Structure 1
Amino acid sequence: MENLHKLHIANHALESGKTLNLNLFYETFGPEMGTAPIVLVNHALTGNSTVSGKNGWWQNLIGKEKTIDTNHFTVIAFNVPGNGYDQNPENLIENYKDFTARDIAQIFWKGLQRLEVDHLFAIIGGSLGGGIAWEMAALRPNALEHLIPIASDWKATDWVIANVLVQDQILNNSDEPIHDARLHAMLLYRTPQSLTLRFNREKSENRYEIENWLFSHGHKLQNRFRLASYKLMNHLLKTVDITRNCGNFIDVASRISAQITIVSVDSDQFYLAEENRIDVSELRPFKQNISYHEIRSVHGHDAFLIEYDQLSRILNPIFSTAPASVYCKS
């Protein structure tokens, strides 16, 4: 984390009416800002700002001569304040229910403003990161060329809200809250078929391999997250809604001038592809520059972190034609 940079955001007003001071940590990859088109990458629930390089969680997609080529694009990634990646106790947010995904979107825009960035070539994000991308585009509909939400949605469905509640109950009542919450969450991110393909009921030392795998994920997350951080990140999932106090979906989304490229996973059981298909069909009569793509995979929601060949084929046309004029310092 030696590449982390910090911005101090003072007197930020939340949707809840509360005001706070916070530190916003970020990383950059590629050319110096102001010399190339800028891509903002929003991380998912357990992700962070390290999106490229040796330990980058999206290193197969972002880097030199990758789909988002850091020879030609400046990539910025913020950490959601309070996600704990900076290991800074003062940045840990205890009152997690005070925050919404829109608050995070506003904070990210403030961070970009501090960096003198007023226009983006693209905002891209998977899962929660895609929801925050939607919120950012709705807040500043003319400030980006491409909006790319992946395995995501512009709103939290009843299914997402219900599972956030289950996670929150585990986090507030279990003896090993992060560990146990992660066991449940992993079953939302994969499919029965994916687990069968991988484990096939095999055992090791009198325990099923699927059980070993789940316990391993639980322990890893327990070592990565503080409890308040995980509570916050889980809570944000249910707050995504670009229409809250803003009108209906068609009104809000049609004002976004960017090309919207929606990418779903056909087997996703968390953000259903059918929801995205309906959104695109409803929006298309009012907005021509929108496209829909679907990753075919047995792996469910996590396919956006697995099926890199398919994802690259979808994104290559966007990132191979970046206009040299879309630089972004004001």
Structure 2
Amino acid sequence: MISEFIIEDFKLTSGSKTLVKTTYQQFGKALGTAPIVLINHALTGNSNVTGAQGWWSAIVGDNKVIDTQRFTILSIDVPGNGFNVNSDYTIKNYKDWQLVDVAKIQVRILEYLGVNELFAVVGGSLGGQLVWELAALKAIKIAHIIPIATDWKATDWLLANCKIQDSILNNSTNPIYDARLHAMTLYRTPRSLKQKFERERDEDSIFKVENWLSYHGNLLQNRFQLASYKLMNHLLTTANVLRNYTSIKDFAQVISADIHLVSVDSDLFFLAEDIWETYIDLCTEKDNVFISEIKSIHGHDAFLIETAQLQNILKPIFETKTHEHNHKHHIVWNR
């Protein structure tokens, strides 16, 4: 069931005040009867994490790795993400927003639901950046922080590509379609496209890779709003958990949760080397930090494609006893 949450006069980090309308969903066990897992969606995602239309049904569901028969699953829509097409939900002043604002709204919803402790917070890409932001607020006790194919900061590479996306979204005559074409080349890799298409053409002599890009451009254009795309792309650029910390090492000293980093070795969006650098920085200050790496030719989207590998990475975390964590269950892959 989709539930609505409204904040009448929410103060953004930028200083402006705004009406916030968003939605959230609950799956699995009833609140108060089981450990709670919060799942954050990525740029074009939403709170539909499981079920027939669920974007993460391979991972979340009955007898899946994140088992709805064992856990209460919460997923909160980023305000303005387009899941509700009602114009009241649209955010036009997108550059006033920061990802930390979304994390603060998550805290408000969790407090409203009476949740003060989470077994895990997990998310990929933008959703993983939001995992970091929520942890940095220290408003909710979290046992496991699981950011996937993401980092705690917006790198120069990410900022550069989001700038290109923003320019396309604000200047193109076909903005969603054109921006998606550019984005798909970041989410995959040259090897992935070579394996998939091998320079083949269709019956009209059009390269199949071009048809594939057009398909994804049209698909997103048919289900996504321009205002949502502008907002979500902008939020990627605002990730930075060091607002209240002097360094990532300082952050590590005050976060008690187990931190499970998951990189993708071929990721061209959130580079694996940056995530491994974060791992090394955290390990100098904190023992309960772990890293796993998805091996794939498919790049950033591998966190959605390589479900078998991700299941193997997440399984030891979600099979542990909820209050007695045994570190020997962790998979840690070293380069």
Task: Identify the residue that residue 120 of structure 2 maps to in structure 1.
Answer: 122
Distance 1:6 1:325, change over 3 A: farther
Q: Measure, in 2, the Cα distance between the counterparts of 1:322 and 1:270.
A: 34
Distance 1:55 1:322, change over 3 A: farther
> Offset at 1:11?
1.8
Q: Measure, in 1, the Cα distance between the counterparts of 2:36 and 2:214.
A: 39
Runs of 4+ in 1 over 4 A off after TM superposition: none
The answer to whether the aligner puts 1:174 opposite 2:135 as a matched pair is no
The Cα offsets for residues 136-187 of structure 1, whole Å up to 9 and x where unpaired, read as 0010176100000000000000000000000000001000000000000000
Give me the identity figure in percent: 52
Task: Identify the residue that residue 9 of structure 1 maps to in structure 2.
Answer: 7
Q: Which of 185-194 and 134-143 deviates more?
A: 134-143
The code of the aligned residue for 1:49 comes to S
The Cα offsets for residues 189-239 of structure 1, whole Å up to 9 and x where unpaired, read as 000000111111111122111111100111111111111111000000010
Q: Which of 134-143 and 32-41 deviates more?
A: 134-143
Residues 143-292 of structure 1 mapped to structure 2, 5 A cutoff: 143-204=141-202, 205-292=204-291
TM-score by length of 1: 0.96
CA contact (8 A) 2:118 2:140 kept: no
Q: Which of 4-13 and 254-263 deviates more?
A: 4-13
The code of the aligned residue for 1:195 comes to L
CA contact (8 A) 1:147 1:260 kept: yes
> Offset at 1:4?
1.4
The answer to whether the aligner puts 1:321 opposite 2:324 as a matched pair is no
The Cα offsets for residues 271-311 of structure 1, whole Å up to 9 and x where unpaired, read as 11111111111221210000011000000000000111111
CA contact (8 A) 1:142 1:257 kept: no
Secondary structure class of the residue paired with 1:207 = coil
CA contact (8 A) 1:39 1:120 kept: yes
- Alignment length (residue pairs): 324
Q: Measure, in 2, the Cα distance between the counterparts of 1:150 and 1:122.
A: 13
Q: Measure, in 1, the Cα distance between the counterparts of 2:69 and 2:58.
A: 15
Distance 1:184 1:250, change over 3 A: same
Task: Identify the residue that residue 310 of structure 1 maps to in structure 2.
Answer: 309
CA contact (8 A) 1:131 1:240 kept: yes
Q: Measure, in 1, the Cα distance between the counterparts of 2:196 and 2:146.
A: 30
Secondary structure class of the residue paired with 1:263 = strand
Please give the root-mean-square deviation of Cα atoms over the aligned residues, in Å.
1.3
Q: Which of 58-67 and 135-144 deviates more?
A: 135-144
List alignment gaps of at least 5 residues for structure 2: 326-335
The answer to whether the aligner puts 1:85 opposite 2:83 as a matched pair is yes
Q: Measure, in 1, the Cα distance between the counterparts of 2:168 and 2:227.
A: 13
Q: Measure, in 1, the Cα distance between the counterparts of 2:253 and 2:191.
A: 37
Q: Measure, in 1, the Cα distance between the counterparts of 2:112 and 2:16.
A: 22
Q: Measure, in 1, the Cα distance between the counterparts of 2:291 and 2:323.
A: 26
Secondary structure class of the residue paired with 1:198 = helix
> Offset at 1:325?
9.2
Task: Identify the residue that residue 100 of structure 1 maps to in structure 2.
Answer: 98
Secondary structure class of the residue paired with 1:202 = coil
Q: Which of 134-143 and 260-269 deviates more?
A: 134-143
CA contact (8 A) 2:249 2:284 kept: no
The Cα offsets for residues 3-57 of structure 1, whole Å up to 9 and x where unpaired, read as 3111112321110001112112011110111111000000000111001011111
Q: Looking at both structures, which has the greater relative contact order when contacts are Cα pairs under 8 Å and sequence separation is at least 6? A: 1
The code of the aligned residue for 1:298 comes to I
The code of the aligned residue for 2:215 comes to S
The code of the aligned residue for 2:106 comes to F
